[in-house]
Amino acid sequence: MTRTAVLLGMGFWRSSVEWWSFRSFVLTMVAGQVVTPLLGLLIWSAAVPGDGSIETYYVVLLAVQLMTVSYEHHTLAGSIYGGDFAVELVKPRPVVLDFLGTNLALRFWHLAFGAPVIIGVGVLAGISLSGRDLLLALPAIVLAAGLRFAFTYTLALTAVWTQRAHGAVGMGEALIFLLGGTAAPLTFLPEPFRAAGAVLPFWSMLGAPAEVAAGNVDDVLRVYAVQAGWFAAAVLLAVLVWRRAVRRFTAFGG
């Protein structure tokens, strides 16, 4: 466990330094990630004027988006398509650690560069957050971040079988947008869609921690339980797909 933590920390540090040298590109990535939550904020604020919970929800959602964003369709799938994945397989450590370290580094820079936007929008919207709700949201954010990484990682592994892994991940991101709470807050959906959305993995990846932080959830433990269940299922699926992908993978050239 200690060795794994050290290797992950080293991977995070190395990736952080590497991405700092591409900070102008990271800024464009951050800009792309903040667009949809800001659009949701503008649209729903106009649709439901005077409801302060809308502003609070979407500002928090913006922060959660930056803390859970995943780019394995570029890092992992790109490595598979380029043949570099073969080098990763012979290194004396779990392959996932390097991609997880890169994932954490990208999330760190996304949050660092996106913080002025979050603070600025929050001040302009005049939102107020409860310290208790923010503390309750921390486990939900960790579970959402882990679930989204496992989900994207599994979809990116399809690059072993197809040249359309980017499309598979793009479809997954579209589902997160539509059903995860960006297109519309879950609390605005009528029953039975609200109940169905609450147990889907897409809301657990994004909207759940935002709702908890905004103080819109009564049964926080139930949210944790749903997230943890989906996280366990996603990790199990990732392991199964990984084992089949390794047996399938073939690299040419040198």
What is the distance between the alpha carbons of residues 242 and 96, in angstroms, rounded to a whole number?
Answer: 10
Q: How far apart are the first and last CA of the chain?
A: 34
Closest residue by Cα to residue 224 from 150, 135, 128:
135
Burial 1-23 (b: 16+ CB within 10 A, else e): eeeeeebbeebbeebbeebeeee
Chain-wide mean pLDDT for the chain? Answer: 90
Burial classification of residue 82, based on how many CB atoms lie within 10 Å of its CB (0-12 exposed, 13-18 middle, 19 or more buried): exposed
CB atoms within 10 A of CB 43: 14
**Whole-number pLDDT of residue 208:** 95
Are 19 and 75 in contact, with CB atoms under 8 Å apart?
Answer: no
Q: What is the pLDDT, as a whole number, of residue 32?
A: 93
| pTM, two decimal places | 0.93
Longest CA pairwise span in the chain (Å): 62
pLDDT at position 182: 92
Position 254 scores a pLDDT of 42
Q: What is the pLDDT of residue 188?
A: 81
pLDDT for the residue numbered 251? 57
**Segment 151-199, tens digit of pLDDT:** 999 999 999 998 888 899 999 999 999 899 999 888 887 888 888 888 9
pLDDT at 197: 86
Contacts of 136 (CB under 8 A, 6+ apart): 212, 213, 220
Q: What is the pLDDT along the chain (254 residues), one digit of tens a residue?
A: 788 889 889 989 999 999 999 999 999 999 999 999 999 999 998 888 877 788 999 999 999 999 999 999 889 998 888 888 888 888 878 889 999 999 999 999 999 999 999 999 999 988 889 999 999 999 999 999 999 999 999 999 999 998 888 899 999 999 999 899 999 888 887 888 888 888 999 999 999 999 999 988 889 999 999 999 999 999 999 999 999 988 887 655 44
SS3 219: coil
